[in-house]
Amino acid sequence: MKFDHPAKANPIDRMKVVGQPHDRIDGPMKTTGTAHYAYEWHNEVPDVAYGYVVAAAIAKGKINSLDLKAARNAPGVLAIVTADNAGPLGKGDKNPALLLGGPDIAHYHQAIAVVVAETFEQARAAAELIQVDYRRESGNYDLAAQKPSVTTAPKSEPDKSLGDFASAFSASDVQLDATYTTPDQSHMAMEPHATMAAWEGDKLTVWTSNQMIDWCRGDLAKTLKLAPENIRVFSPYIGGGFGGKLFLRSDTLLAALGAREAKRPVKITLQRPLIANNTTHRPATIQHIRIGTDKTGRISAISHESWSGNLANGPPETAVQQTELLYAGSNRQTGLRLAKLDLPEGNAMRAPGEAPGLMALEIAIDEIAEKVGLDPVEFRILNDTQVDPANPERHFSRRQLIECLRTGVERFGWSHRNAKPAQVRDGRWLIGMGVGAGFRNNLVMKSAARVHLDAEGIVTVETDMTDIGTGSYTIIAQTVAEMMGVPLEQVVVRLGDSDFPVSAGSGGQWGANSSTAGVYAACVKLREAVAQKLGFDAGTALFSDGKIHAGEHSALIKEAAAGGRLTVEDAIEFGDLEKKFQQSTFAAHFVEVAVDMATGETHVQRMLAVCAAGRILNPKTARSQVIGAMTMGVGAALMEELTVDTRLGYFVNHDLAGYEVPVHADIPEQEVIFLDDTDPISSPMKAKGVGELGLCGVSAAIANAVYNATGVRVRDYPVKLDKLLKGLPELNYVVGKKAP
């Protein structure tokens, strides 16, 4: 099905099943332990051995020698694979560095060997016996030291400009010129990267944890120099990914290599300390923002430049993309700069680009609003745009940012905010409110599905779409139930198998909208097949209560499969509507914080997200996505930071003992409001994505609330107490200084 015209009225609009807050259909399996995650497949293949990954102890250099003798002779050891005996390997398109290093080392904790043994404990013990002699080389590990002398504009992300920014900024009545930094961050998904691999001749099957089945299979095929059809990938349940499992990683490759060498199925999970350095992370940024306005607060000039670093051939953090579209202004420029760093690979983490970009932009917007003398909400409303600023002929398909902000103002009690910082106290706590706009582009991808109808009236859908905890099983089932007019109980959803039609996969906020649209397309074809079998006109017939209806005439849809199961397959392919319309999602985040006036300890007390993200397919699972994203925003604002050892080139706090993330005690009351926002430009579902939007703007809202509470403006994330202490009003009073 080609989607190249705005959606008209269709069966999804009935909203009998779609749009309702149904419980997750996979919930009982997850709560009873019968939903198998990657390391939990126990009965699929016999005689499984265990692998343990050995990782490089240097960040850059070469391996002079690997002494494997003691490890090979250790109890239970079946095989050891290194670059020397792995055979010729390629490199996947989406992997900047080799997943199995040696003799050259590209980054700290790059995998250099896997030990396979009868038990996990034996593999781990033997791995400790491997002696590695390295020749360490110097490398570049400090982003700040690389800016700007050795940074370049990525070819894939050229600078963009409109009008004459320099002249307009110079002539502005009010100016802001500030620099903001965001740190390296780790995904820290609950489920570690894990894989079980088994060979049958030259055919490989892997049970893994991966968000994009087809990407995984394609890059694994290139790395192993196999035909993709000789590889089968299973990933039906994923315990969190956040972008860290978008691509082929070393656990999958090493499980396959270990199984081939040991001639046994092999199971591997990456040790938690390896995940931060061996897989991917969100790169740190240095962002320079300049905004100029007239006396009334209208933006006349806006510039946003961002620096990030990565391995050679790695992508930049696209932290300026929201600035191209979020606010009006006739003179503007954006640019990315990429430094070559010898740190582990930087890549996508939930809302890549917008999440760190809005952490800076939405503080800058508050700062310029204060300079102008406007309420920060009113400043944002004043500078709203209904068109792409760089192409005024291109309107937004739907843009409800103003309604998000107005709704949030009323619901959150924004009128009670004291605009003057450090004025509201509750005992020893300084109280403040903050706001941040949320923005994330609406991305769509081709997505296919196969649908079966059997003689019992059961409709089964198959697609390689994944569920990373987002509720894919449930919204896909809801789509089938709505389209075919059957109850949810008569829908079976099968996901995460590369033998199924290729879906959009889970990532980029495109998964829910695209995958359900692909299922919609397949169901349209199944409706046609049922109608033809039973003598109805598919264009006018209604499907409900397990029947097909036309006037007084009706029949059970299962009768169409009486002679054998009906099977159809189709895909949604998106045309060029994105060229005619700018498609984006919007939010307004409101936060209240309390800051201890003596210690700088910060507690988030209330959070509100108002989202405009197209039709909400399931309000219950969508709310779960947003509050989870809001929680990540708390972490990014107040605690999350991978600490770089700039001498040795690695992330020091590479486990959950040292890398702080929010826990239940850190998270307050969270409220989520979804505006009515069906968007026929987006897809036949008239939906968009929401899982990443919920993170965009949250951290800045918290930082802005901390400023409102204390009068201390922190532009260097995370906003930890040591950055607040010397500026707190009470401490200034104690040491005899005038409070701000």
Give CA–CA dist 600/681, Å, rounded: 47
Q: Which of 557, 577, 597 is the last residue of a domain?
A: 577
Residue 739 has pLDDT above 60, yes or no: no
Domain membership of residue 450 (yes or no) is yes
**pLDDT 10s digits, 580-614:** 999 999 999 999 999 999 999 999 999 999 999 99
Q: Are residues 594 and 728 in the same domain?
A: yes
Burial class (CB in 10 A: 0-12, 13-18, 19+), 572: buried
Predicted pLDDT of residue 355: 98
Q: Are residues 594 and 535 in the same domain?
A: no
- If one counts every other C-beta atom within 10 angstroms of the C-beta of residue 248, the result is 28
Q: Are residues 616 and 664 in the same domain?
A: yes
Burial class (CB in 10 A: 0-12, 13-18, 19+), 673: middle
Cα distances from 703 to residues 593, 619, 672, in angstroms, run 9, 28, 20
Domain membership of residue 291 (yes or no) is no
**pLDDT 10s digits, 670-701:** 999 999 999 999 999 999 999 999 999 999 99
Give CA–CA dist 602/597, Å, rounded: 10
Q: Are residues 631 and 587 in the same domain?
A: yes
Q: Are residues 729 and 597 in the same domain?
A: yes
Q: Which of 545, 577, 609 is the last residue of a domain?
A: 577
Give CA–CA dist 632/678, Å, rounded: 27
Query: Could you give the maximum distance between any two Cα atoms of the chain, in Å?
Result: 90
* Residues with active-site annotation: 692
Domain membership of residue 547 (yes or no) is yes
Residue range of the domain that includes 693: 353-442+583-734
Q: Which of 577, 595, 611 is the last residue of a domain?
A: 577
For residue 96, whether the previous peptide bond is cis, meaning omega lies within 30 degrees of 0, is no
**pLDDT 10s digits, 247-272:** 999 999 999 999 999 999 999 999 99
Tokens of 710: 């204390």
Residue 529 identity: A
659's CB contacts (< 8 A; 6+ apart) are 186, 188, 276, 640, 641, 642, 653
Predicted pLDDT of residue 740: 41
Give CA–CA dist 208/466, Å, rounded: 11
| Residues 636 and 702: beta-carbon distance below 8 Å | no
CA 52 to chain CA centroid, Å, is 28
Q: Percentage of the chain surpassing pLDDT 70?
A: 98
Mean pLDDT throughout 113-120? 98
Q: Are residues 429 and 462 in the same domain?
A: no
Give CA–CA dist 113/670, Å, rounded: 45
**pLDDT 10s digits, 260-316:** 999 999 999 999 999 999 999 999 999 999 999 999 999 999 999 999 999 999 999
Predicted pLDDT of residue 156: 81
Q: Domain tally for the chain? A: 2
Give CA–CA dist 7/10, Å, rounded: 8
Predicted pLDDT of residue 155: 80
Domain membership of residue 274 (yes or no) is no
CATH number, domain containing residue 20 = 3.30.365.10
CA 469 to chain CA centroid, Å, is 12
pTM above 0.85, yes or no: yes
Domain membership of residue 134 (yes or no) is no
User: Of the candidates 448, 131, 171, which has an alpha carbon nearest to the alpha carbon of residue 290?
Assistant: 171
Mean pLDDT throughout 501-521? 98
- If one counts every other C-beta atom within 10 angstroms of the C-beta of residue 34, the result is 10
Give CA–CA dist 333/626, Å, rounded: 31
